[in-house]
Amino acid sequence: MKIALSWIKEFVDLNGISTDEIVSQLTMSGLEVEDVVDQSNLYKNFIVGFVKETQKHPNADKLTICKVFDGKDDLQVICGASNVSAGQKIVFAPIGTEIPNGNFVIKKAKIRGVESNGMICAEDELLLSDDHSGIMVLDEKLEAGKSITEALNLNDVILEIAITPNRPDALSHIGVARDLAALFDRDLIIPEIKLSESSEDVNKLASVIIEDEVNCPRYIAKVVKDVKIKESPKWLKDRLEKIGLRPRNNIVDITNLVLHECGQPLHAFDLDKLSDHKIVVKSTKSETSFTSLDSKERKLPLNTLMICDASREVAIAGVMGGENSEITETTKNILIESAYFHPSSIRKTSKTLGLSTDASYRFERGTDPNITKYAAERCAQLVADLADGKIANGIIDVYPKVINPKEIELRFSRTTKILGYDVASEKIKNILSRLGLAIKVLDEDKLLVSVPTFRPDIEREIDLIEEIARINGYDNIPTVSKINITLEKKTDETEVDEKIRQAATSLGFFEMINNPLQSEKEVKISGSPVKLANPLSADMEYLRSTLISGALITVSKNLRQGVKDIKLFEIGDVFNKTNEGEIKSFDDFTEDQNLLFIISGKEQDKGWNTEVIDSDFYLLKGLVDSFLAKVSLDNVLNDSYYAAANEIYAYYLTKNSNGVELGKGGKIKSDVLKQFDINQDVYCFEFNFTHLKNVKAKNNGYVDPLKYPKIIRDFAFVLDKSVKYLDVKEFIKKKSSNLLKEVSVFDIFENETLGENKKSIAFTLEFYDKDRTLTEDEVEKDFNNLISLITKEFNAQLRGK
Amino acid sequence: MLDKNITEIKESFYTDIKSVSSIKDIEEIRLKYFSRNGLVSQLFEDLKDVVKEEKPILGKKLNLLRNEVSSYFEEVKERISSTQSNKENEIDLTLPGKNYIVGSKHILTQTLDEIKSIFKGLGFSVANGPELESDYYNFESLNFPADHPARDMQDTFFVSKDFLLRTHTTPVQIRLMEKQAPPVRAIMPGRVYRNEAVSARSYCMFHQVDGIYVDTDVTFAELKGTLVSFAKQFYGSDLKYRFRPSFFPFTEPSAEMDITCYLCHGKGCKICKNSGWLEILGCGMVDPNVFKFVNYDSEKYTGYAFGMGIERIALLKYGITDIRIFFDNDLRFLKQF
Ligand SMILES: [Zn+2]
C-alpha cells in the first residue's frame, strides 16, 4: 500500500522527525516499509520544457526533431512519441539526468545521425504510472525551465508499506498516522466535518432495507442532489496519482480519497437509476448473472450478498458496483453507500468471482463499523464542495445491532511474564491511549482496556501485550544469554535417516532430492498415486507413489546433459491411496518414507591402472548387500528372486522379513526406460524405509579373530545350466560337517568343451574350528564326501582332478 | 704440498656431497674421488714421491682421510638409494592415483545437518511429521480460521476438501504437543509445498525447520537469546541482527529476525533489496489459541516457536541464484558438495 507523507502529516504532526526515522520506526513496529520514493530527490533534475518547433527526422519515420526551450537555451532533442507537437509544455530531462525507470543517465547522443541533447519524458519513465502511450503534456501556463518538483508539486515522500493481514486498521492514511502518533508520542488529529445540508429530508428521497443482517450489520446512505460530474481539481488528482490511482471524475475520485484517508470503502449510485430510490441488501436466492461496472458479465453463485433496488441487483456488495446504476456524465443525484459487511461473506464472494478490489480487500480483512457515518459525511461534504451538490438533510442509518468496543483486562504481571522484562505501567498506559484505546485502572496490576471497533485484531490480553511490545520496540526486549536445559533424554526421529545417508554416501552414492509432484504418465508406472485437486500444471498433477519415477526423470535429465554414469540415492515420502474414494481421513491413504538406489552407466571408468566397472544387476545386488551390512541388517532379510518381468523390472529380487516384502529392485524394463526417454540400462532398488526401520538389526556382539589356521579347498563341477548357484551352495552347507564354515563361488563359465546347456561353477570351501587346529585327514574326508554327494544330487561332473 | 692437497680435497669432497640428490650424482662423486684415477687414489700416488721422513705421518693422515670420506660417502649413498630405487624399475610418482568415488549428501541435507546440530546442542529434540496433512493440523489448530485472509499468506495444494500438502512444518508442533505434556523443546525439519509458480526465486516445494519450546517460564527475551545464539553459531559471532514485529496466526506477539546482509555489510545491495538486512526466520510467542487446541493451560505455560526455510539459507550461503538447481539433481552440481 502506498502512503504519501504529506497526506499523513494532515493527521499527525511529524515536525522535526526525519524521513529515515519515520521509515525505520514504521518497519520496526510491524508496518514494514518496502520502498521509499523521495520525489524531490528523484525528480531534482527534471524541468518544464517548451517545444518551440518540430520537424520530421530525415532518416526515421517515427522520430521527430524538436527544438526545446529549457528556460535559457534552445536545444535540439529527438523524440519518438507520436503526440509531440510544437507549442507543448513537456517534462524535459537534460543531459546528466538519471531516469527513474531503468536507472539510466541521459547522455548527449546521435540518434540515426542527428544529435539529441536530452529527453522528453512519458509518465512511465518517471514512475508516475504505467502509461507509455505518449509523452506527458503539461499545463501550458507552466514556466519553462522551472523544476518539475515545484511545477508539478512532486516533492512528496511516498512509502510502500506491506500491511500484514491482521492490520486492516492500517490500510489508510489515518490508520498509519495513528501508529506514528503512538510511536512518536504525538497527537492524532482527525479533522471535524462541517456539514452544510439542504432542508430536503433524505428519507423522502431514498430508503434502505437490510434483509441479511448477518452479512450486512450496518448500511448508511447519504444523498447529494444536483451534482455536476466533471474532472477533479488538481490537488485531488495529484493526491490520488501519488498513491498510484488514476483519476476518473470528481465523484469517483472523492470516494477513493475517503477510502484511502480513513479506510472505509464507499460506493456512489446514480440515485435516479435506482428503481423506487430504494436500496435492499440481500443474498442471491439462485444463480444470477450480473454486469459489474467494468462491463464484465459475472455469474453470481447462490448466497452472494448483493445490493439491490426495488427490482434488480445494482452492486455486488463490498466488491464492485454495477453498470446499471453507475455514475455517468449525466448523473444528477447520487446516493453514497457507506456500509459494514461481514468479512467472511465478502471474502467468499471475492474468492469465488476471482475479483479483488480495494474495497473487497478491506472488507474481507475487517473494516470499522463505526467509521461509516464519518466516511459518508466526509464524502458528502466533499461532493458538495467539489461537485456543487446539495446534501439532503439527515442520514439513513440502518444498524440493527450496534457493535460496541470490546473490553479486555490487561495485567502488568502477565506482560512481564510473556515479554521477559518490565514495561513501566505509565508507559503501557500511554502506548495504549496513543493507539486510541480507552483505559481504566482496575487495581495495581490490572487495566480495563476498551478496544475501539477499528482494531478487530485486538481480542485478548495477549493482543494488547503485542501492541505494547511492538510500540515500545522489540529492541528493548532483552536478549537472554542463559537458558535452562532439562536433563531428560532428547530424541531425534531423523537419526536413522542420517545413518542411512552415511552408509549410502560411503558406498559412493550421491543424494538427490526429486520433486514429489509429477505428471500422470510419470507416476502411473506403479501404485495408486494421489491426485491434486488444484495442481499448478499438468506435469505436476500427482503425488508420487514410488521414488522410481522421480529417479528415472533425474537419470533422463542427466543423460541429456551428457552425464552418463549415474549412482544416486534418495530418501523421500511416497503416497498411495488405499481406496478409490475422496480422501477424508488418514486411513484413505498411506504416506511411507522410501529409500531408493539407482545406478546406470559405468561405476568406474577405465583408467591407466583401473578396469571399467559397468553397472549391472550384480553391482546393484552387491551395493544393496553392502549397504545392509553397513546398517547391520545383513543376514536379517531373506532374498527372493524373480526372473520374470513385472510392471517395472525385467528381472528383480526382493528383500523380505518374516514374509513381508521390504524392498525390491533389479533391471528396469526397456519399455519403462523408453517412456522416460532413457537409452541405456538402469538398475534400481527401492526399500520401504518406514518398514525397514522397524526391522531389528542383528547384534552378534564381538567375535574373537580366529586363532587357528583355516584349511582351504577348491572344487569345480560341470553342471546343467539350469542349476542355480544358491541351490548347490545350500546343499553343500547342509551336507557338510560342522568343520565347513564358508562356501563361496570364485569362477563361472560356459563353453563348447563343457557341452551344450552346461556350465562350470568353481567353489572355495573354508574349514576351521575356533578351538583347535584341524587335521588334513578330517577335512579330506568331508571334502571327498561332498564331491560324491554333489555329483549324485546335481548330475554333476567334477572338473580337473 | 701433499699436506695442503689433503685439506683441499677434503673440503671439496664435503662441498660436492652436500648437493647430492640422485643416484647419478652419487656416481659422479664416486668417479671423481674413489675411482682408480680419482682424487683420493691420486693422493696415494703422490705419497710415493714424498721424502722418507714425512711418509709415515702423511701416510697416516691420508689413511684417516680415506676412511672418513669413504664411510661418509657410503652413508649418503645408502640414504639416496633407499629413497630412489635404481634405474631399472624406477616408479613414476607423478601418475594420478586410483580414482575412488565417495558420494555425498545433498547440499540441503548438509545445511539441515548443521542447523540440527546447533539446536541439539541447545537441548532440542528432533521430530518428524507427515507431508500429506489435514486442514485441521495445517491451518485450523494453528489459528488460521476458515475464510480468513491469513490463509492467503500460504497458497495451498489440496488433494481433497480437508486434506492438503502441508504449507509449513508447523503442524508437527501440534502433533508433538498432542503427544506430550510440557516441557516440549524440539525442532521439526521437513518438506513443505506451496502452490506458487516455479521461478528462479520460488519452487512449489521446499524445506523448513520449525522449532518450539513450551514450559512454565518461557519469555520473548529467551526466544531472542536462543535465536541469536543460533544465528551467531551458524552465520558467525560478529553478526548484527534485529527483531521486527510481524504476523503469524499461531504466534502472538510475532517477529521476523533479520541479520545484516553479508554481501554489502548493511550498505544495501540487490540481494537485500537495498535494505541492508536479510530476513532469516519468523518467530513469536505461541498463541494461546494454539494451546487451547492441544489442551495446554495457557495461564501456566508459555512458549515460543520459530521457523526458517533451508533453501533460502543455502542460497545465501553458497551464492546460488536459482532455487531450481537444488531439484534438478544434475550430478555435476551434486558432486560439488
Ligand atoms: Zn545487501
Q: B253 and A469: CB-CB below 8 Å?
A: yes
Q: What's the helix, strand, coil split of chain A in %, to 5?
A: 30, 30, 40
Q: A673, exposed or middle or buried, with CB in 10 Å at 0-12, 13-18, 19+?
A: buried
Domain A197-398 in CATH 3.40.50.300: no
| CB nearest A511 (choices: B104, B162, B332) | B104
φ/ψ of residue A382, rounded to 5: -65, -35
Structure letter (DSSP) for residue B166: -
pLDDT, residue B87, reads: 56
Q: What's the pLDDT band for A700 if we cut at 50, 70, 90?
A: low
Comparison of pLDDT for A527 and A366, the residue scoring more: A366
Edge to edge, the sheet with strand A320-321 lists A207-210, A278-283, A305-308, A313-316, A320-321
List of residues 6+ apart from A297 with CB closer than 8 A: A289, A290, A291
* ipTM associated with this complex: 0.87
CA distance A320 to A324: 12
Which residue out of A24, A28, A528, A532 would a mutagenesis test of the B interface target, given it has the greatest number of B Cβ atoms within 10 Å? A532
CA of A609 relative to ligand 1 center, distance in Å: 50
Which of A482, A485, A608 lies nearest to residue B123, judging by beta carbons? A485
Q: How far is the CA of A450 from the centre of ligand 1 (A)?
A: 43
Give the pLDDT confidence of B264-287 residue by residue, as tens digits: 888 888 878 888 899 999 999 999
Say if A582 is an interface residue toward chain B (CB within 8 Å).
yes
Of A343, A465, A558, nearest to B331 by CB-CB distance is A558
CA distance A68 to A117: 9
What proportion of chain A, given as a percentage, has pLDDT over 90? 78
- Which is nearest to A519 in space by CA: A500, A543, A495? A543
Identify the pLDDT of residue A331.
94
Strand ranges (E), A369-520: 390-393, 396-398, 406-411, 438-443, 446-451, 510-511, 517-518
For residue B88, what pLDDT is reported? 54
Distance of CA A56 to the CA centre of its chain: 51
CATH topology classification for A495-692: BirA Bifunctional Protein; domain 2 (3.30.930)
Cβ distance B195 to A558 less than 8 Å, yes or no, reads no
> Which chain A residues are within 8 Å of B180, Cβ to Cβ?
none
Identify the pLDDT of residue B21.
Answer: 79
Give CA–CA dist B37/A116, Å, rounded.
94
Number of Cβ within 10 Å of residue A237's Cβ equals 17
Hey, what amino acid is at B168?
H
Peptide bond into A456 cis (omega under 30): no
Indicate the CATH number for domain A44-151.
Answer: 2.40.50.140
Q: Give the DSSP letter string of A43-72.
A: TTT-EEEEEEEEEE-TT-TT-EEEEEE-SS
Give the nearest partner residue to A417 out of B116, B127, B302, using CB atoms. Answer: B302
Contacts of B40 (CB under 8 A, 6+ apart): B9, B33, B34, B65, B66, B69, B70
SS3 B20: coil
> Do the chains contact at B253 and A569, CB–CB below 8 Å?
no
Q: How large a percentage of chain B has pLDDT more than 90? A: 54
pLDDT band at A181 (very low <50, low <70, confident <90, very high): very high
B84 band by pLDDT with thresholds 50, 70 and 90: low
Q: How far apart are CA A364 and CA A342, in angstroms?
A: 7
Q: Scanning every residue of chain A, which has its alpha carbon at the shortest distance from the alpha carbon of B287?
A: A462
Integer Cα distance of A137 and A146 in angstroms: 15
Through-space distance between the first and last CA atoms of chain B, rounded to whole angstroms: 73
Contact A275, A285 (CB under 8 A): no
Contact A32 B244 (CB under 8 A): yes
Band of pLDDT at residue A164, cut at 50, 70 and 90: very high
For residue A27, which residues of chain B lie inside 8 Å, CB to CB? 244
Q: Positive or negative, the Cα torsion across B119, B122, B128, B133?
A: negative
| Averaged pLDDT of chain A | 93
Homologous superfamily (CATH) for B107-334: Bira Bifunctional Protein; Domain 2 (3.30.930.10)
- Closest approach of B332 to chain A, Cα-based (Å): 8
List where CATH 2.40.50.140 sits in chain A.
Answer: 44-151
Mutate to test the interface with A, among B329, B330, B334, B337 (most CBs of A within 10 A): B329
Strand partners, A585: none
pLDDT higher than threshold 90 for residue A101: no
Q: Please identify, in words, the CATH class of the domain defined by A406-470.
A: alpha beta
Question: B-contacting residues of A 218-237, CB under 8 Å?
Answer: none
Angle between helices A461-472 and A425-434 (to 10 degrees): 100
Q: Of A154 and B213, which is predicted with more confidence?
A: B213
A28 touches chain B (CB under 8 A): yes
**Cβ <8 Å between A573 and B150:** no
Q: What local confidence, expressed as pLDDT, does residue A112 receive?
A: 87
Residue pLDDT, tens place only, A371-392: 999 999 999 999 999 999 999 9
Q: Do A477 and B221 touch (CB under 8 A)?
A: yes
Identify the DSSP state of A81. -
Separation CA A2–CA A128 (nearest Å): 13
Residue in B closest to A499 by C-alpha: B105
**Going by DSSP bridges, is the β-strand pair A278-283/A207-210 parallel, antiparallel, or unpaired?**
parallel
Alpha carbon of B312 to ligand 1 centroid (Å): 15
Residue owning grid cell 510475532: B254
Residue B330 grid coordinates: 544434475
Distance B278 CA to ligand 1 centre (A): 7
Using DSSP's 3-state secondary structure scheme, residue A604 falls into strand
Identify the band that residue A471 occupies on the pLDDT scale cut at 50, 70 and 90. Answer: very high
Topology adopted by domain A2-40+157-183: Phenylalanyl-tRNA Synthetase; Chain B, domain 1 (3.30.56)
CA distance B325 to B11: 69
Q: What's the CA gap between B303 and B253, in Å, rounded?
A: 11
pLDDT of residue A169 exceeding 60, the answer is yes
Q: What is the Cα–Cα distance from B127 to B185, expressed in whole angstroms?
A: 10
**Cα R_g (chain A), whole angstroms:** 41
Dist. CA B274 → ligand 1 center (Å): 6
A610 interaction partners in chain B (CB closer than 8 Å): 98-99
Dihedral (Cα; A257, A260, A266, A270), 10-degree rounding:
20
pLDDT score for B89: 61
CA separation for the pair A669, A653 (Å, rounded): 14
Question: Which one of A419, A575, A582 has the shortest CB-CB distance to B220?
Answer: A419
The more confident residue out of A605 and A666 is A666
Residue A540's pLDDT is what?
A: 94
Q: Flag the least confident range among A396-405, A473-482, B86-95, B328-337.
A: B86-95
Q: Tens digits of per-residue pLDDT, A106-149?
A: 898 888 888 899 999 988 888 877 777 889 998 888 899 999 98
DSSP string, B251-310: EEEEEEEEEE-TTTTTS--TTTTTSSEEEEEEEEEEPHHHHHHTT--TTT-EEEEEEEEH
Task: Assess whether pLDDT exceeds 60 at residue B85.
Answer: no
Length of chain A: 801
In chain B, where are the structural domains located? 2-89, 107-334
Q: Can the peptide bond before residue A301 be classed as cis, meaning omega within 30 degrees of 0?
A: no
> What is the tens place of the pLDDT at every residue in A714-764?
999 999 999 999 999 999 999 998 899 999 999 999 888 888 889 999 999
CB contact under 8 A, A483 and B123: yes
Give the CB-side neighbour count of residue A677, counting CA atoms within 13 A: 10
Query: Stretch B211-216: mean pLDDT, rounded?
Result: 96
Q: Amino acid letter at A98?
A: E
A493 touches chain B (CB under 8 A): yes
Using the mean position of ligand 1's atoms as its centre, give its distance from the Cα of residue A475 in Å.
Answer: 21
Q: What gap in Å lies between CA A761 and CA A93, rounded to an integer?
A: 91
> pLDDT, tens digit, for every residue of A28-81?
999 999 989 898 888 989 999 999 999 888 888 888 999 999 989 999 999 988
pLDDT at residue number A754? 85
Residue tagged 528556460 (cell numbers): A71
Instruction: Give Cβ neighbours of residue A134 (< 8 Å, ≥ 6 apart).
Output: A81, A82, A83, A84, A122
* Coil, helix or strand at residue A427: helix
**Per-position DSSP letters for A537-584, written without gaps between them:** SGGG-EE-SSSHHHHHHHHHHHHHTT---EEEEEEEEEEEESSSS---
Contacts of B134 in chain A (CB under 8 A): 586
- CB of A320 closer than 8 Å to CB of A346: no
Mean pLDDT of the region B203-208? 95
Q: What is the DSSP string of A218-231?
A: EEEEEEEES----P
Among the partner residues B247, B326, B329, nearest to A165 by beta-carbon distance? B247
Cβ contacts from A onto B, under 8 A: 254
Residue to test with chain A: of B95, B110, B159, most A Cβ within 10 A: B159
The CA–CA distances, whole Å, from A193 to A187, A190, A376, A435 equal: 18, 9, 11, 22
Segment among A254-263, A575-584, A790-799, B8-17 with least mean pLDDT:
B8-17
Q: What is the pLDDT of residue B10?
A: 85
Question: Which residues neighbour A165 within 8 Å (Cβ) at sequence distance 6 or greater?
Answer: A365, B148, B149, B150, B152, B153, B247
Element (H, E) at B141: none
* d(C-alpha A55, C-alpha A119), whole Å: 16
- CA–CA–CA angle A40, A46, A49 (5° rounding): 140
Q: From the CA of B114, how many Å to the nearest CA of chain A?
A: 12
Q: Which residues between 45 and 74 in chain A have a beta carbon less than 8 angstroms from any beta carbon of chain B?
A: none
Start and end residues for every CATH 3.30.56.10 domain found in chain A: 2-40+157-183, 406-470
**With contact defined as beta carbons under 8 Å apart, do A37 and A4 qualify?**
no
Q: How many whole angstroms separate alpha carbon A185 and alpha carbon A577?
A: 60
- Does A711-798 carry CATH code 3.30.70.380? yes
Contact residues, chain B, for A459 at CB < 8 Å? none
Residue of A nearest to B336 (CA): A510
A218 pLDDT band (50/70/90 cuts)?
Answer: very high
- Establish if A543 touches chain B: CB-CB under 8 angstroms: yes
Q: Which residue has the cell 571327498?
A: A784
Q: Does A103 touch chain B (CB under 8 A)?
A: no
Segment among A308-317, A466-475, A735-744 with least mean pLDDT = A735-744
Q: Do A291 and A264 form a contact (C-beta atoms < 8 A)? A: no
Q: List A residues 405-444 in contact with B (Cβ-Cβ < 8 A).
A: 417-421
**Contact of A221 with A347, CB cutoff 8 Å:** no
Rounded to an integer, what distance in angstroms lies between the CA atom of residue A581 and that of residue A589?
Answer: 10
Please say whether the beta carbons of B323 and B197 come within 8 A: no
